[in-house]
Amino acid sequence: MDMDAEVITLPHIGEKTAAALERAGIFTVRDLFYYLPRTYETYQAPTKIAEILPGKITVRGSVSSVNTRYARRRRLAITEAIISDGSDSIRAVWFNQPYRGKQLQDKREYIFSGNYELKNGRYQLTAPQVRLAQDEPEYVADNASSFQPVYSAKNGLKPQDFKKLLNAERPIFAEIPDLLPLSTQKPSFVKTGTRKDALFEAHFAQNQKAADKARNYLAYEELFELILAARLNQKDTQKLRSTPVLYNDQKMHELLNSLPFALTDAQKLAIWDIIKDLGKPNPMNRLLQGDVGAGKTVVAAAVAFQAIQSGLQVALLAPTAVLATQHAESLQALLGPLGVGVGLLVGATKNKATIKTKIKQGEVDLVIGTHAIITDDTKFKNLGFCIIDEQHRFGVNQRQKLLLKSPDGLAPHLLSMTATPIPRSLQLTIFGDLAISTIKQLPKGRQPIKTTAIQEIHLQDKLYPKVKEELNAGRQIYWICKSIEDMPSQETISVKRQATKLQEIFKSAKVAYLHGRMKPAEKDEIMAKFASHDIDILVSTTVVEVGVNVPNASLIVIMDAEKYGLAQLHQLRGRVGRGQHQSYCFLVVTGEEPPSRRLRELEKSTDGFHLAEVDLKMRGPGEIYGNLQHGALDLRIASLSDTHLISMAQKHATEVADNPEVMLKYRELSHVIQKYQQLTTLN
């Protein structure tokens, strides 16, 4: 059987069903067979109404009368029905499900499952689940309790539809081909036929144990695919050639001597790792991870300077114009005097054509910019090294475009920098082809940021006094809001309203706002004013999230904090604590709920690595690496905490990756892997 064939090739699927499945995003046989139950439940056999006792019950019957009334000023719909099965009848009640009225008028037989209980002095069946009896052969057959899959509804297809569809295809499951190679390093549970059995059991298991076993295999399969893709990426990278960078000790010292500070040991180590990689004739693919404020920029500057000494051009890609501009300024100040030609290329750059010509002719050694660098008409003379700041912000396609700008046949070295560290479990799976340097140590004299989560009602007593104190001490403040303008449907406070409010409260402070919809020139102006302390309080959306550096800012307030991920909050928090002043972060939550456990984690920890692990556990990888993966890498079955399965899959996948002949035999596997490779490669 071809798992890539369209669903219509299945025996019981006609054009109408195929179209409905397509609307639900299910195109191929594989899509359908891998549409696994959301959960399973043990169905109770129906009891005769005359024999029911209070508690959880299931009855089968039809409805003799049904009506809906409204209470509490029409905000509550109460639907009552009388269910009869010939032996007796009972009253059932649903709240805010007015459609039940219509649904149950048809006199057909239904199965009702729910709690039979005493309420307001009368017995009733409270909010029972309702299923059409003819859809439920298990009930109609009146057999004893049975274990059943429960599917999620999807785009107009009901859980029952999936159940029926898959049930009809039962016999076909026997034809599902094997997927995983049976090489020597495979775990013992992977055998001939394991896949078809697992898929069958995942849908039609008779008990939880069998279902769990099936899902365990499918989780393994999923991890194996990811890891194999990563291994193959690694091999592909090793085949590429690039220009080696020759280490120039004298130039390195020239640069280090011009710095106003001494590098931390962690920074030196990172530089050394990178220099060693750059010296090879294969492209480096390295991630530099270091918490916010760890000093990654100077590391990038040092290694870029080396590459430039070797005659290469270097591109530094930043996710926002604000950040690119700031990088350009500080790197110009640092490297300009040492003879490096620095150029900035962002959307708002005025003399773009001139700069592009200079880049093409090799007059600019270090090009700093945003997506403008990636556009097709930016050509380099000898691009040999790309540095990507805050790499998780860029899509894979964008990165690939940049890498294509190297001279023919050569691939540039790649250094990605991030403050959102990649948890170890992801390193081992998705990012298996990455070399990683970590700056764990912050520059001397930094004090951890004191973080407090508060409810909005405590702004006056807990936050405003602190704001006054910091302003009086001559410090500056970031104030982060979720939205730009007030919108009737939104509960979040907007940048504009917040700015007005703060100006009224702190009259002598200079308040300004910043958001992504402002013109780049306006944004740059505001940022520059904040940097030169012509603004005291900067109210902003998350455009200031990444990399911006104003060491005099010592307080950041994040409104509607519950709406952000931990990694993002940690990034935002990193806008302060960049100088010698004790810094503070206030996470303000809206509404009456106290701050969540997630936000409490931020109070407890300033370790980005720890927080990333917590976030990964609570929200999954797609949320953390949202832009990078577009959700495509969210594991459907496996969990990244499954270290045992991961380590088995690693051995197995490594062996397979080393043996291209094995891959050839598994056409379907290669097909899936290719897709994953494109999604996960950083090259």
Which residues sit at the interface with ligand ADP, rule CB under 6 A?
261, 263-264, 267, 290, 292-298, 419, 443, 547, 549, 551, 578
> Cβ closer to ligand ADP: 298 or 672?
298
Matching residue, tokens 């920098």: 417
Closest approach of ligand ADP to the CB of residue 332, in Å: 14
Q: Could you tell which of Mg ion, ligand ADP, none binds residue 298, using a CB distance below 5 to 8 A set by kind?
A: ligand ADP
- Which listed option, ligand ADP, Mg ion, none, makes contact with residue 325 (CB within 5 to 8 Å by class)? none
396 vs 553 by CB, closer to ligand ADP: 553
578 binds, among ligand ADP, Mg ion, none (CB under 5 to 8 A by kind): ligand ADP
State the binding partner of 187 from Mg ion, ligand ADP, none, CB within 5 to 8 A by kind: none
Q: Let me know if 592 is exposed, middle or buried by CB neighbors in 10 A (0-12, 13-18, 19+).
A: exposed
Q: How far is the CB of 400 from Mg ion (least distance, A)?
A: 23
Distances (CA, A) of 626 to 391, 392, 472, 568, 671: 12, 8, 40, 11, 24
Cα dihedral 235, 240, 243, 248 in deg (nearest 10) = 0
For residue 310, the partner it binds in Mg ion, ligand ADP, none, with Cβ less than 5 to 8 A by kind, is none
Instruction: For residue 464, give the DSSP letter.
Output: H
**d(Cα 510, Cα 503) in Å, to the nearest integer?**
7
Instruction: Report what 553 binds from ligand ADP, Mg ion, none; CB cut-off 5-8 Å by kind.
Output: none
Contacts of 61 (CB under 8 A, 6+ apart): 49, 83, 84, 85, 86, 89, 109, 110, 112
Q: How far is the CB of 542 from ligand ADP (least distance, A)?
A: 16
| Percent of the chain that is helix, strand, coil (3-state, to 5) | 45, 20, 35
C-alpha 579/C-alpha 447 separation (Å) is 9
Per rule CB under 5 A, count of chain residues that contact Mg ion: 1
C-alpha–C-alpha distance, residues 288 and 389, integer Å: 9
Distance (Å, rounded) from C-alpha 546 to C-alpha 244? Answer: 31
Q: Which residues contact 234 (CB under 8 A, 6 or more apart)?
A: 432, 433, 657
Phi, psi of 86 (to 5 degrees): 95, -35
Residue 30 contact, options ligand ADP, Mg ion, none, Cβ 5-8 Å cut-off depending on partner type = none
Task: Between 343 and 574, name the residue whose CB sits nearer to Mg ion.
Answer: 574
* Smallest gap from residue 578 Cβ to ligand ADP (A): 5
Answer with the entry of Mg ion, ligand ADP, none that 295 interacts with (C-beta below 5 to 8 A by kind).
Answer: ligand ADP
**Beta carbon nearer to ligand ADP, 555 or 559:** 555
User: Are the C-beta atoms of residues 63 and 128 closer than 8 Å to each other?
Assistant: no
Q: In whole angstroms, how close is the CB of 296 to Mg ion at the nearest point?
A: 5
547 counts as binding Mg ion under rule CB under 5 A:
yes
At position 327, the amino acid (one-letter code) is H
Q: Quick one: 293 or 384, whose CB is closer to Mg ion?
A: 293
Closest CA to 463 of 574, 589, 293: 589
**Rounded to the nearest whole angstrom, what is the least distance from the CB of residue 608 to ligand ADP in the complex?**
10
Q: Which CB atom, from 547 or from 608, has the smaller least distance to Mg ion?
A: 547
Whether the CB-CB separation of 556 and 586 falls below 8 Å is answered with yes
User: Minimum Å distance from CB 348 to ligand ADP?
Assistant: 22
| Binding segment toward Mg ion, per CB under 5 A, in 168-176, 304-312, 543-551, 637-645 | 543-551
> Which residue stretch of 6-14, 97-105, 224-232, 541-549 sits at the interface with Mg ion (rule: CB under 5 A)?
541-549
Choice between 297 and 325, CB closer to ligand ADP: 297
Quick one: what does residue 90 bind among ligand ADP, Mg ion, none, with the CB cut-off 5 to 8 Å set by partner type?
none
Residue type (1 letter), 507:
K
Nearer to ligand ADP, 258 or 643 (CB): 258
Residue nearest to ligand ADP (CB): 295
Instruction: Give 443 or 516: the residue with its C-beta nearer to ligand ADP.
Output: 443
Binding mask 497-536 for Mg ion (x = CB under 5 A): ----------------------------------------
Nearest distance, CB of residue 419 and ligand ADP, angstroms: 6
Of residues 572, 595, 592, 574, the one with CA closest to residue 583: 574
By beta-carbon proximity to Mg ion, the closer residue of 92 and 316 is 316
Residue 508 burial (CB count, 10 A): 7
**Beta strand 55-71 pairing with 342-345:** unpaired
405 binds, among ligand ADP, Mg ion, none (CB under 5 to 8 A by kind): none
- Residue with the CB atom nearest Mg ion in the bound state: 547
Q: Which is nearer to Mg ion, 149 or 547 (CB)?
A: 547
Are 149 and 37 contacting, i.e. CB atoms less than 8 angstroms apart? yes
User: Is 430:230 a contact under the CB 8 Å cutoff?
Assistant: yes
What's at 228, amino acid-wise?
L
Interaction partner, residue 272 (Mg ion, ligand ADP, none; CB < 5-8 Å by kind): none
Could you tell me the sign of the dihedral formed by the alpha carbons of 458, 464, 469, 471, in that order? positive
Strands 313-317 and 383-389: parallel
Q: Which stretch binds Mg ion (CB under 5 A): 6-14, 234-242, 540-548, 578-586?
A: 540-548
Considering beta carbons, is residue 321 or 588 the nearer one to ligand ADP? 321
How large is the greatest C-alpha to C-alpha distance in the chain, in angstroms? 97
10 Å Cβ neighbour count for 450?
A: 15
Residues that bind Mg ion (CB under 5 A): 547
